[in-house]
Structure 1
Amino acid sequence: MTTPTTVQIPSFSVAGIAVRTRNSDEMNPAIARLGGLWERFFSQSWERKLPGRDSDGRIFGVYSGYESNEHGAFDVTAGVATADPELAQAVPGAARVDIQAGDYLVFTGHGDMPQMVIDTWVRIWRYFAENPQVQRRFGTDFEAYEGPDSVAIHVGVKP
């Protein structure tokens, strides 16, 4: 398993559409919400309909609003970075989330969707189980998609 890199991320905003879920729900196809979120995001062209999109060009999956930890409920926003969060939020049905500035561990994954994302999260959970001295912040975490087969998952950690 590759060791994650540590990066300092400045605050930025992502606009898109969101759902609230929990990891245990995502294990049950009858009530899982994330597949539907991403299907709706792409089928309704949310990546193109949001005004104020910045030049970043990447698609983001942002985890926020944590009830507690990885076992509690949390929000997931599928979206794009936006230079003008107020303008993007004016789109009916759009949600906005602000990425917290701070230290993040970055785990990368490559391969076919959605398995590469699932496999990368399994590596992340294993990393934190094996390294209890590194503590997650449970503020904001995000997936940054460089393309259809590459992801960099940023997990906020306490200093």
Structure 2
Amino acid sequence: MDKIDVIGFFLLGISTRTTNQNGQAAQDIGDLWCRFMDDNILLQIEDRVSDEVHCVYTEYETDHTGPYTAVLGCKVNSLDDIPEGLVSLVVAPGTYVKFTAKSWMPDRVAETWQHIWNSSLNRKYTADFDVYGCPGQNPEDARVEIYVAVE
């Protein structure tokens, strides 16, 4: 894990409100991914910076045990044109600790998040995010970068 400064960015995508209690987030975020793929959300985001997909966790009610919002989408150059049905998000600049999950496989990403939840990081609970490389990559070979906002 590395501590780094991240510049802020704009994101367009789709969202859901969820919680980690009773495995609810796994179901909700899995459904969000299905919707993202089935509805070709990537192609609806015309002003995207790249095809990397970000899953941003924000609007934490308390900490990782309480409700929060997950937004799945892509970085964009501006929020001037938001297609109908998509949500926008501004991720503020800040200091983050970067982790790497060894594949896109949901269990590998979940294992990394379990490690984060059990760590002693001084988290800010503003916006944390996962970065998934281009969708065409083999999920078993791809890496997922996880950024956790810290004080």
TM normalised by structure 1 equals 0.85
SS class of match (2:115): helix
Unaligned runs of 5+ in 2: none
User: Which one of the candidate residues 116, 128, 138 is aligned to 1:141?
Assistant: 128
User: Which one of the candidate residues 2, 7, 15 is aligned to 2:4?
Assistant: 7
From the superposition, tell whether residues 73 and 43 of structure 1 become closer, same or farther in structure 2 (CA, over 3 Å): same
- Would you say 1:60 and 2:57 are equivalent positions? no
The one-letter code matched in structure 2 to 1:63 is Y
1:100 and 1:37 mapped to 2: Cα distance?
A: 23
> Could you list the per-position Cα deviations for residues 112-158 of structure 1 after superposition, in whole angstroms to 9, with x for gaps in the alignment?
51111111101212223xxxxx4100000000112533100000001
Number of equivalent positions: 145
Q: For residue 69 of structure 1, what is the aligned residue in structure 2?
A: 63
The one-letter code matched in structure 2 to 1:20 is R
From the superposition, tell whether residues 51 and 73 of structure 1 become closer, same or farther in structure 2 (CA, over 3 Å): same
Q: Is the 8 A contact 2:4 2:96 kept in 1?
A: yes
SS class of match (2:124): strand
Identity of aligned residues (%): 27
Kindly report structure 1 stretches of 4+ aligned residues shifted beyond 6 Å: none
SS class of match (1:137): coil
Unaligned runs of 5+ in 1: 129-133
CA RMSD in angstroms, aligned pairs only: 1.7
From the superposition, tell whether residues 105 and 113 of structure 1 become closer, same or farther in structure 2 (CA, over 3 Å): same
- Would you say 1:98 and 2:90 are equivalent positions? yes
TM normalised by structure 2 equals 0.89
From the superposition, tell whether residues 127 and 38 of structure 1 become closer, same or farther in structure 2 (CA, over 3 Å): same
Q: For residue 131 of structure 1, what is the aligned residue in structure 2?
A: none
The one-letter code matched in structure 1 to 2:107 is Q
User: Which one of the candidate residues 61, 74, 78 is aligned to 1:80?
Assistant: 74
- Of residues 31-40 and 58-67 in structure 1, the stretch that sits farther from structure 2 once superposed is 31-40
From the superposition, tell whether residues 123 and 50 of structure 1 become closer, same or farther in structure 2 (CA, over 3 Å): same
